[in-house]
Every structure is written in C-alpha cells, then in structure tokens.
Amino acid sequence: MISRPQSALTCIEMTDHIQQSFHEIDVPFLCMIADEDVVVDNSISEMFMTKSPSKDKTMKSYAALHGLLCEPSPLLEVIEADLAQWLLSRCP
C-alpha cells in the first residue's frame, strides 16, 4: 500500500520531470488553471506554455480554488464543457 508521503513524493518527482522536459513536449495539450490556487504555482503553467514547442496548446483560467473538477456548480459545468470541447475538437 502506498502511503500519503510516497504519493506526494511521486507527484513532486513527476512535476520536476515534466518541468525539465518542457522544451520536448510538442503534443497538443490543454492547461487548465485555477486563479486562486495556493497549492500550484501558476507561473509554472505560463512557463510551460512559453517553452513548449507544441503548435497546439491552450490555456484556460478559472476563478477557482485548487481542485477544478471539485468546484461547485455552475463553474464545474463550465470547466467540464471546456474540457470536453477541447477534446472533441481534436477528434477525427
């Protein structure tokens, strides 16, 4: 069984790896950020948008706290609709 500290460490290691690989990420991606987030540093998301060579990158910002998919209605529906539209617009 994985402990909470191990899970947190894995998340930190994963974000460090992604941050070091920004310049290699050239697949389409959607970056959704919460304006009022105190857990995640949104400037890193902006750096990701700048440094990634991807030609298909989208950033969406919401007046929300950390957990975008845990926001109350009606904001949750807006977030879900944006996510679905982004995905569907890239399906053949």
Q: pLDDT for 17-70, tens place per residue?
A: 888 888 888 999 999 999 988 888 889 889 889 989 999 999 999 999 878 988
Burial 19-57 (b: 16+ CB within 10 A, else e): eeebeeeeeeeebbbbeebeeeeeeebeebeeebeeeeb
Distance CA 2, CA 32 (A): 28
**Rg (Cα) of the chain, in Å, rounded?**
15
Three-state DSSP class for residue 30: strand
The DSSP letter of residue 40 is S
Contact criterion met (CB below 8 Å) for 68 and 32: yes
What's residue 1's pLDDT?
63
